Amino acid sequence: MSVEIARIGADQLCRYQRVPIHFRVDSQLRVEPLEGGLGGLRLVEERVDPPYVKDYDAVLGGSDESPAHWPELFNVSRWGFFLAIARGQDIGGAAVAFDTPGVNMLEARSDLAVLWDIRVHPDERRHGIGSLLFQGAADWARLQGCRQLKVETQNVNVRACRFYARQGCHLGSIHRYGYAGCPDVAHEAMLLWYLDL
């Protein structure tokens, strides 16, 4: 299958948003503190029973945080937006934030980009499309002069964690209480990955 990775403008984020992002959670990485945390943290994979589907789009729904609303929340003029297109269909997307005041994930660094979002249609996964999108995002960040690309995921997205590790990312931080203020996902741990560019 021939896949084109196309850069799009913020005016096409409604199109981008139509690519589903849900995934099945059948295992998670339990955060296990060693010596009360003084010895570090260990991630232990365990089955989730019963498995469930996590759908970021459903969580956001029509909220002001969905992709189509990003330009209302942030100055996205320095962001990169990409679509994966095959057989005339949008089958994936990636968004990269860079040099944007108010985006705390950027850590006030001008040499850091954040993979804000990456999605591949469930019917098209495991065909290398995510890798193409990730590589396109990393290449774009490198062209902006960034030294690192940062990615946030959760301990319930084990497949994503393995994906980022395969892309050359290293786990830079485990925030056990990163979502404590969000009751629906307070049980999840925030995992921050970094790719040296």
pLDDT digits (tens, 9 = 90+) for 27-75: 999 999 999 989 999 999 999 999 999 988 776 555 667 898 999 999 9
Residue 101 lies in a domain: yes
Q: Percentage of residues in the chain with pLDDT exceeding 70?
A: 97
* Neighbouring-strand partners of residue 45: 29
User: pTM of the prediction?
Assistant: 0.94
Torsion of the alpha carbons at 191, 189, 98 and 111, rounded to the nearest 10: -40
Residue 129 lies in a domain: yes
Residue 84 lies in a domain: yes
Residue 185 lies in a domain: no
- Tell me the helices (H) and strands (E) count for the chain, helix number first: 5, 9
Residue 196 lies in a domain: no
Looking at residue 60, its pLDDT comes to 57
Residue 167 lies in a domain: no
Torsion of the alpha carbons at 94, 99, 103 and 105, rounded to the nearest 10: 70
In this structure, what CATH number is given to the domain that contains residue 114?
Answer: 3.40.630.30
Q: How many distinct structural domains can be found in the chain?
A: 1
Task: Provide the domain limits for residue 139.
Answer: 4-146
Cα distances from 98 to residues 15, 69, 169, 184, 197, in angstroms, run 22, 17, 18, 29, 14
Q: What average pLDDT does range 79-83 have in this prediction? A: 98
- Contact yes or no for 98/146 (Cβ under 8 A): yes
Give per-residue pLDDT as tens, 120-162.
999 999 999 999 999 999 999 999 999 999 999 999 999 999 9
Residue 195 lies in a domain: no
Residue 104 lies in a domain: yes
CA 27 to chain centre: 18
